Structure 1
Amino acid sequence: MTGKTFAEMASAIQRPRRRRITPRALIDRPRLYSLLDAHDHARLIYLHAPAGYGKTILLEQWAALCAEAGDVVAWVSLDARHHDPMIFATHLDLAFSGHPEPSAQPAETRISNWQEIVRRLCDQFANDPRRCRIVIDDAQEIHGSRALACLRTLIDEAPPEMQIVIAARADTGLPLGRLRACEEILELGPEDLSFQAEETRRYLELKGLQPANADYACLLQRRSEGWIVGIKLFCMALNHEPDNRRILENFTGERSEIADFFLEDAFSRQPADIQDFLLRSSLMERFSPALCEAALGIAGSRDLIDRCEAAGLFIQRLDDTRTWYRYHQLFGEFLRRHLQDRMPRLTAPIYRRAAEWLTGTGNHVEAFHCALRGQEPMLAADILDRTCDELFALGLQPMVQSMAEKLPSHILALYPRLTLSLAWRLNSQWRFSDAKSLVAVAERRLGEMAQAPDADHALLRRLQLVVAHRSAQIAHSSYDIEPLEARCVEMLGSQPEFDSDPDLMASFHNSLHYAQREQFQFGRIDQLEARAREQLARSGGDQGLVFTAAIAGSSHLLMGQTARAKATFEAGLAVAQRISGRHDPLGAVVATALAAVHYECDEIAEARSLIDHYVPLMTSAGLVEQLLHGWITQARLHLLDNEVDAGIATLEEAAQFGSKQELDRLRIGASVEHLRILLGQGRLEEASRLARRRGLTTHRAAEATRGRQRFTVLDGEVAMACCHLMAASDRLLDALRLARQWRSFVSGAQAHYATVEWDILVAELLLLSGERLSAQRALSHALAHAAPAQLVRRFVDAREPVATLLRQMLHSGTGMERASDQFRTKLAARIDPAPAGENEGEDDDLAIFGRITNREVEILSMVASGLPNRQIGDQLGLTEGTVKWYLQQIYDKLGIRNRKLAVGRAQRLGVIA
């Protein structure tokens, strides 16, 4: 060909295919346009992805934008003809010159070689002020041909004004290392070219398709992995069958439209050895050369994988070391179905060998799934049984549960270690009946194993200890406090074998800590917390630190050490988030308790943030206390927002969850808070019905029990609820006797948080009994214990008549001597000592008796109308006892002890009409 004129060359070769640089009917992709524009300086833009990722369409759209901006754009689509570098160069030149007729070139122009054409093109645009872009599509066509040298020369000699844009579905053979090192290349692969969820949604809208559910667009994008042809085929299927849900559920690589594309455009074009490798390796979710050698029975797997990559066969690297790979999920599904149709007997042996190899390399989870797919449930159970303790220690309990539930029950029953691990998980999900059943299954199996002549007695002893541990955990979650304490003391004191299992040791120390804390025994809790942390440090089980923090922090709060409780909960939450992120239920184990502490310290924004985020996550697994803290704090926040009905609904949800899961601690705790709200609203009849329905009035703590030595925190909550109920029913002496007994008990136990609560209640009962000075002393005691802990909300949330007494004490300073200045300042900011309007409209003659408040005016008016105390309480949302207390205040201020005379005196003073 040397020495021919351009006209002779052009007429001797077939004309290149013309490319209309106009956008097709597809969505705009500004995300990628911006990326391309941002790399305008790059010498080479390289799009490489298998068929169907929209490479050509994207470049058409972008090239049209460039042409509109005044750039010179040339486009060449390659095929087998372009293996000849002279044809490649000539077509490139023709694309640049606007496809002139051959006669348009001077007859005397001589072309000696393709280098000359490339050099002339580069020289032509070296001084051109316009940006020049050369788009070369289907560049994989010249892989291994002489034309590749032509393309390399063009890239190397291109002037700064020229940019080469290449699209290829397979390897081109171009050396790219130097360009990468010099940062002169932009590479876009399948992950870049794939549709994102928003692009999938817009494409569906473009096609006039509205999925029945907005989530379907996201689901379609995930199922297709953004593969554009897959999404287009889905849309075509919808035209024939508009049932979105059914098509999407069956949108797999086995579907005929998808399978035909893969068969025609990818699989059938490969040689027999590649086809065989594709089919066999598709059985594994991910694969490596070593795994393929062991499982597939095929030699040279490294080379085969490289050839699959070079051919653009929907294979994706999973690391930067070229070790692990996977197929696009639709392509993998197509291959597996093809293998099942052609060679069904191959699958089980491949899966079995893969499971054995993966087990040997420590990939136990993948090994388990391979064994199951290979119809080897015993092998799968054996793999999981040997690794379940390790997986639990890594915080992978949900994964172990999911795997174990895939095994047939009769096979699971043969593996007591695995059964006991699953029982622990079910117990943490509050599925006590199921957990107890599994513990019983394990005990029976251990009995059978002990009868075997080759029994491993060391293993059996250890598993018997695990049985004891699981039974203790069930008692912990069921709030069987005394049996739990006894079991923990027994196991920690007499089982040296536990020294070899620090996780179990830590769990027993935590449970003993919990049992003693719930019985107001604080003498050993610091020691028990320290020992639990020591054991967890030995095992490296960071997840256990979260549960240790939850139990220890609640003890600090009950003792009134709020700063220490906050620090403990915050440390536990940091560990949880480090292990599993902010959106995992593990964080809820401590987060809701931390929210409760923030609420008590009047740090409402912090409490609300934690509750809003973690309450939706807290019901999947964890401790009962996280549920109690979460729902009760949420209800109190509702009350703070004057959303009484929402607060009650929250507590009803908690009680129903407690009833369903047999969590008496939650059910009763939520009911106590519900009762408190109803009584605060003056809804005595509702409160009485609730107490009877939830068993509060028949609970062992409902009456004073001086002979009983062991009280629990739950007993205290029930006793407080019953005191409120007695007071509302005019049983003030009974209520005061029970409250004083409990106040003495918790004060002696150094439970300062509980002491504050009981002091406030005693003050209320004394006020209702007319003993104002004694009530002031009780409230002063409460303030003294609350100040170091900054328990502001205990007083801000106090109802009448305590609220009035507190305002008076803040105003006068009487009884506030033992509270710190800082605490008094906080209270004064939250509780107005002289509420506006309380002294408006009163006669000066009344000053010698005291100020009549607006609420007292309301009550006097109702008394004047002849309403009895109970009806006044119903109308004003007060208990009958509180109405009586208000009347006592009115009598003191008016200097009159007669109901009728008090009304007359108030009318004469003009206080009421």
Structure 2
Amino acid sequence: MVARPRLSRLLSRSAAAAVTLLSAGAGCGKTLAAAGWLAGGADGRCAAWLTLDETDNDPATFWYDVLLALQVADAVPAGSQLGLGAVTRPSVLVLDDVHELREPAALDALGRLVEHRGPALRLVLATRADPAIRLHRLRVSGRLAEIRADALAFDAAEARQLFARHGLRLTTPQLRALLERTQGWAVGLRLAAMSVDPADVGGGIAGFTGDQPPVADYLAAEVLDRHPPEVQEFLLRTSVAERISGALADTLTDGTRGRHTLERLAGDDGLVVALDRRREWYRYHPLLRQMLHHRLSTDNPPLAAEMERRQAIWYGQHGAPVEAVRRASVARDWDLVARLLVDAALPRLLSPEAPALVAAVQPVAEQALRDPSMARLICSAAVRFHRHEYAAMDRDVGDARRRLGSVPADLRVSADVALTVFEAAAARARGRPSDLVGAGAHALALLEHAAAPDFAAAPEYRVIVLNGLGIGHLWCGHRQEANEYLLAAAGEAERLDFELPYVSALSHLAVADAVHGELDTAAERARHAVALAERHPPALPANTSAAYLSLALVHLQRAEWRDAGRAIALAAAASDDESDRSARLAVAAIQMRLLVEEGHTGQALAIGARLREQMLAGDAYTGLLAGWVVAAEAEALVAAGRLPAVLDGPAPGGRAQLCVARARLVAGQSGQAETMARALAGDPAADLETSVEARVLLALIAEHRRHDHAAVEALTEALALAEPEHVRRPFLILRDRLGALLRRQQQLVGGSADFVEDLLAHLVPPDGPAGSPLAEPLTDRELIVLRYLPTLRSNSEIGEDLFVTVNTVKAHLKSLYRKLGVANRRDAVRRGRALGFL
């Protein structure tokens, strides 16, 4: 006997009610709860007890037993003739096992007792199911107190006391595991305490399940066998479901009364629980479900597999494709797994459900080497994609594509789209934007001919494909096409609530905005993308590198050096997962520009040489990135004074041409510099920074020639273009020549006065950038560990949260300290805050 004073207090607090209903399933502790309260004095009431049985279905027997119980307890005088009015002493009568009353006459007798018990008599009804009497009248009038299974469940302190009585001392995790498995069910805990060997507590807890003989025998005798055969069959068939609705139950049982049956079961034992207020979804007690499922699997394996298949198809039809795949995998129906994957679930690899989906297809994927069927190869490709093993994924996709002709006709389109999506991912990982565009165009053509009702994932595939097309066109340098596809992807992703592709589309739109000088829009989109991505930390890296990259571009153009350094470091960490080579190259190219501003021209040129070599291995060197690298190299050469190398070298793109023009101006070739600058200033396709800087150069050239009016006019145009977006960098490049010109502009021209003042303030300190990016970027896991450091959690606690060992945490910390250039946790926090990581 475990003392449970909280239940006694609960029974005492319900004393104001005429009737207390203790209603819960078998083994929930109803009897001992009432007995413990009576043993504690029952609030000074005279205590009577009657355990009902089958014989009490005879009203005469029922009334005789009630009267006898009251007489034994001295609640009524001996010889009383069933006069409840004779109960004048404050008394309580506990009627245990009220569920044994099934006959209408007996239930009528119980109803009369409840209604005519007399003011001195309080009733406590302990039952596995609410009796069919008019309890609603008592409930409405406030004369009914109800104590149900949730209140009777053991809490941690009570469970610890129970195990101590059995000589078992459990750790907190062990106790938590048993409480979760038993849901605090009294008999479940008692059986666990009896079955666990004190010499091997961990093993005993691991082996304590619903199919263990003592538990299974109790549940069979006290729960399953008490139901009629049709309900037993219902319970067995539906035990495959971790949660069950009426509609799913009907599918599994070929019935039409699933919801009614579940409602009745939930009212009967307390081992079937409603999960929502509308009572649409239910769950079975974990131990009960284990017992039922074990019996079904043992007695009728084909039926168990068929139930799993039906469940898989049902979930596929009701918008839960990952669960559908998981159930098909449990059924070991590999063809169904593949069909559900390509038709409905594969886009969820770009969602927080990705780990669950990969775990579901893993058993199929592991067989691909032994039996490379289409189903196994597609599952293997999905696993490889999730792990960023793109070379192995490519091999699977190639083998699968050769088998595409053998796929059933109704599956061929979705299978082709799935394979093309994998091919696009490989192109993105390798930094081949033109291949990405080609794959996207093929997939989009397929989707435009797909029949949506037969192809559940078509809208999500379309979002992925549009996003990929937009990214490919962006890095190829096709701004209009990139914007069209990315805007379409963002709009459709938002409508579908497909968050991670939405984040990706917003991030790359922000890059396009920043490149072309729409800085406020770029910053707004990028920050919105980061905020959305932070809802799903495990998916953060692959989806925010472009957002941070766009912020770096914004800060660079605004000469906000410290913020630019922070954004570059975050972009580098976010692109560390190998899923987007173009993004990694872009981060390095932008880092070159910041290094030039800091005066580290040698570092910038070394990065440029490596980038040129890497980009030539793909096709990235022909697009936007090539222009960035060439321009950054040219800026570094001009800053280093290596003018011949700039004048003689190739200079594709407006930014690089500006560097050549600047070099010519510095070299005294003002005529050629003017020709180049004027062409760039008049180019309608030039981005904002290029247009502003071209006019700044024209102003400087005019000033050099003492054409004062032309200088003022060119500078006025440059200021008018730059001021709305606060573009400062073009005015700071030749700071030693521009200061006097800006001061004269301030005196002669009234417009842009505040902006000119702001530029002059930036020209005063010659120190350049205040903050620099890390030489070696932090990985995503190092960033996460860094964010734990201000919490003062121990290394072992951080490891528990991240599901890694304490040694792994220590390894991350060692690398983190090295990259930050610090020796301890406190300095790492300070450095992290200075760099904007915290």
Scaled to the shorter chain, the TM-score interval is 0.5 to 0.7
The residue aligned with 1:315 is: 272
Asked if residue 351 in structure 1 is aligned to residue 287 in structure 2, the reply is no
In 1: Cα distance, 2:187 partner to 2:745 partner:
79
Asked if residue 741 in structure 1 is aligned to residue 657 in structure 2, the reply is yes
Mapping of residues 130-141 of structure 1, within 5 Å: 136-141=95-100
Residue of structure 1 aligned with 2:625, choices 714, 719, 729: 714
In 2: Cα distance, 1:394 partner to 1:294 partner:
29
Asked if residue 591 in structure 1 is aligned to residue 530 in structure 2, the reply is yes
Asked if residue 482 in structure 1 is aligned to residue 418 in structure 2, the reply is no
Mapping of residues 552-701 of structure 1, within 5 Å: 552-565=509-522, 590-591=529-530, 615-619=537-541, 622=543, 625=546, 653-654=573-574, 657-658=576-577, 661=578, 663-671=580-588, 687=603, 691=607, 695-696=610-611, 698=613
Residue of structure 1 aligned with 2:67, choices 73, 90, 94: 90
Aligned to 1:407, the other structure's residue is in SS state helix
Preserved CA contact (<8 Å) 2:342 2:415: no
- Counterpart of 1:695, as a letter, is R
The residue aligned with 1:223 is: 181
Q: Deviations over 1:580-617 (max 9, x none)?
A: xxxxxxxxxx226x8xxxxxxxxxxxxxxx86x65554
Q: Deviations over 1:238-282 (max 9, x none)?
A: 6614553x4444342234553454356545666777666655553
Preserved CA contact (<8 Å) 1:266 1:313: no
Preserved CA contact (<8 Å) 1:479 1:664: yes
- Counterpart of 1:172, as a letter, is P
Preserved CA contact (<8 Å) 2:507 2:550: no
Could you say if the C-alpha distance between residues 277 and 356 of structure 1 is closer, same or farther in structure 2, counting changes exceeding 3 Å? closer
Residue of structure 2 aligned with 1:515, choices 472, 485, 497: 472
In 2: Cα distance, 1:475 partner to 1:543 partner:
19
Aligned to 2:449, the other structure's residue is in SS state helix
Q: Alignment RMSD, CA only?
A: 6.5
Preserved CA contact (<8 Å) 1:404 1:412: no
The residue aligned with 1:78 is: 51
Preserved CA contact (<8 Å) 1:746 1:754: no
Aligned to 1:51, the other structure's residue is in SS state coil
Between the two proteins, the alignment pairs up a number of residues equal to: 719
CA drift at 1:481: 1.9
CA drift at 1:33: 6.4
- Counterpart of 1:442, as a letter, is A
> Runs of 5+ in structure 2 lacking a partner?
453-457, 660-676, 702-707, 770-820, 822-838
Preserved CA contact (<8 Å) 1:293 1:299: yes
CA drift at 1:728: 7.8
In 1: Cα distance, 2:474 partner to 2:98 partner:
73
Could you say if the C-alpha distance between residues 64 and 149 of structure 1 is closer, same or farther in structure 2, counting changes exceeding 3 Å? same
In 2: Cα distance, 1:207 partner to 1:785 partner:
82
The residue aligned with 2:132 is: 173
- Counterpart of 1:437, as a letter, is R
Aligned to 1:253, the other structure's residue is in SS state coil
Preserved CA contact (<8 Å) 1:371 1:380: yes
Preserved CA contact (<8 Å) 2:21 2:125: yes
TM-score using structure 2 length? 0.63
Q: Deviations over 1:124-168 (max 9, x none)?
A: 66xxxxxx8765544334444865445423443578998654332
The residue aligned with 1:433 is: 391
In 2: Cα distance, 1:629 partner to 1:211 partner:
53
> Runs of 5+ in structure 1 lacking a partner?
1-22, 126-131, 450-454, 574-589, 595-609, 703-707, 767-772, 836-851, 856-876, 878-913
Residue of structure 2 aligned with 1:789, choices 720, 725, 728: 725
Residue of structure 1 aligned with 2:80, choices 85, 100, 111: 111
Could you say if the C-alpha distance between residues 223 and 465 of structure 1 is closer, same or farther in structure 2, counting changes exceeding 3 Å? closer
The residue aligned with 1:899 is: none
Could you say if the C-alpha distance between residues 307 and 462 of structure 1 is closer, same or farther in structure 2, counting changes exceeding 3 Å? closer
Could you say if the C-alpha distance between residues 554 and 191 of structure 1 is closer, same or farther in structure 2, counting changes exceeding 3 Å? farther
Q: Deviations over 1:712-763 (max 9, x none)?
A: 4434554566467657866477579976536779985767576599899999
- Counterpart of 2:607, as a letter, is A
Mapping of residues 806-825 of structure 1, within 5 Å: 814=746
Aligned to 2:306, the other structure's residue is in SS state helix
Preserved CA contact (<8 Å) 1:553 1:565: yes
Preserved CA contact (<8 Å) 1:368 1:383: yes
Aligned to 1:254, the other structure's residue is in SS state coil
In 2: Cα distance, 1:711 partner to 1:653 partner:
26
Preserved CA contact (<8 Å) 1:746 1:755: yes
The residue aligned with 1:906 is: none
Q: Which has the larger radius of gyration?
A: 1
Preserved CA contact (<8 Å) 2:592 2:632: yes
In 1: Cα distance, 2:693 partner to 2:170 partner:
59
CA drift at 1:185: 4.6
Could you say if the C-alpha distance between residues 47 and 534 of structure 1 is closer, same or farther in structure 2, counting changes exceeding 3 Å? same
Could you say if the C-alpha distance between residues 310 and 832 of structure 1 is closer, same or farther in structure 2, counting changes exceeding 3 Å? closer
- Counterpart of 2:610, as a letter, is G
The residue aligned with 2:779 is: none
CA drift at 1:444: 0.7
CA drift at 1:303: 9.5
Aligned to 2:473, the other structure's residue is in SS state helix
Mapping of residues 30-429 of structure 1, within 5 Å: 44-56=19-31, 72=45, 74=47, 76=49, 78-80=51-53, 84-90=61-67, 93=70, 99-100=73-74, 111-113=80-82, 116-117=83-84, 119-121=85-87, 136-144=95-103, 148-157=107-116, 164-179=123-138, 185=144, 187-191=146-150, 193-194=152-153, 218-231=176-189, 233-234=191-192, 240-242=198-200, 244=202, 246-256=203-213, 258-259=215-216, 261-263=218-220, 265-267=222-224, 278-279=235-236, 281-285=238-242, 312=269, 314-317=271-274, 326-339=283-296, 343=299, 346-352=300-306, 355-356=309-310, 359=313, 362=317, 372-382=329-339, 387-388=344-345, 401-407=358-364, 409=367, 414-415=373-374, 427=385
Identify which range, 541-550 or 322-331, moves more after superposition: 541-550
Q: Deviations over 1:683-738 (max 9, x none)?
A: 889x579838x924756699xxxxx9986443455456646765786647757997
CA drift at 1:446: 1.9
CA drift at 1:475: 2.5
